[in-house]
Amino acid sequence: MNEDELERTSVVANCTMNRQRGLEGPNSYEKELGFSILAYLNKCDDPSWLDLCCGEGRALEEASYLGDFRLVGVDLIERERSEGVDWHRTSLRAFETSEKFDLVTCVHGLHYLGDKLGALEKISGWLKPEGEMYAHIDLAHVFLSGKSSAARKVLGEVRDAGLEYSRSRHLIHGCPSRRLDFSLSFEKADLAVGPNYTGQPAVGSYYSSPP
Ligand SMILES: C[S@@+](CC[C@H](N)C(=O)[O-])C[C@H]1O[C@@H](n2cnc3c(N)ncnc32)[C@H](O)[C@@H]1O
């Protein structure tokens, strides 16, 4: 299955997934990330935040009412337009920008992508020098050919690039010292892996080492 087909499957288009997290409160980015985006943005000069797989974009929209921030949201789904946020209805796979951000988030979005590691590499290249990234990933759904786990290889590169991985939150986060480079080739997405740690059906990702 190619990635265009993947984005039309019921796993990715699943209408029961949580797309409505706000900035703060019980169903929020702050709760999922263990980090206050608002407090962080308020400390930046000329603050900017790119939220990938933003769902309905509630967190971005709330931020737009609370400060003078550059806010960009990317998701496959259509949403109501609102002032103050630059919305892109497109796949993260196709999204490109030359802009650099203070903060790039992908809250429970990589679970639905085929090439999760390629997305992480792109994210790490969209940050200002002191910028921070936050992305959930279930390493139990990332495989090397033959179905061995890619977790060790992924975590090695994450740490070499100065990032942290929180096992309890399944979260890669921090300010990378350089762009991530996993040196793996994406092979295929697998819909047969079933639910991940969130309880929702998710996408497995297979990689091979280039010759
Ligand atoms: C679990 S929801 C999380 C939404 C939001 N981050 C939140 O926490 O409220 C995952 C989102 O990823 C989006 N998504 C899945 N595959 C995508 C892709 N290839 N490109 C962009 N968005 C994608 C889905 O449409 C969905 O809105």
Q: pLDDT digit string (tens) for 116-131?
A: 999 999 999 999 999 9
The HSE-up count of residue 174 (CA atoms within 13 Å, CB side) is 15
**Tally of domains in the chain:** 1
Domain of 182: which CATH number? 3.40.50.150
Banded pLDDT at 16 (limits 50, 70, 90): confident
Selection from 164, 203, 211 nearest residue 183 by Cα: 211
Verify whether ligand 1 is closer than 6 Å to residue 113 (CB atom): yes
Residue 91 clears pLDDT 80, i.e. is over it: yes
Predicted structure pTM score: 0.97
Distance CA 111, CA 21 (A): 16
CA dihedral over 24, 21, 130, 157, signed as positive or negative: positive
Looking at residue 14, its pLDDT comes to: 80
Q: In this predicted structure, what is the pLDDT of residue 211?
A: 74
Ligand 1 centre distance from Cα of residue 80 (Å): 16
Ligand 1 pocket member 87 (CB < 6 A) = no
pLDDT digits (tens, 9 = 90+) for 151-208: 999 999 999 999 999 999 999 999 999 999 999 999 999 999 989 999 999 999 999 9
Q: What are φ and ψ of residue 57, in 5° steps?
A: 75, 25
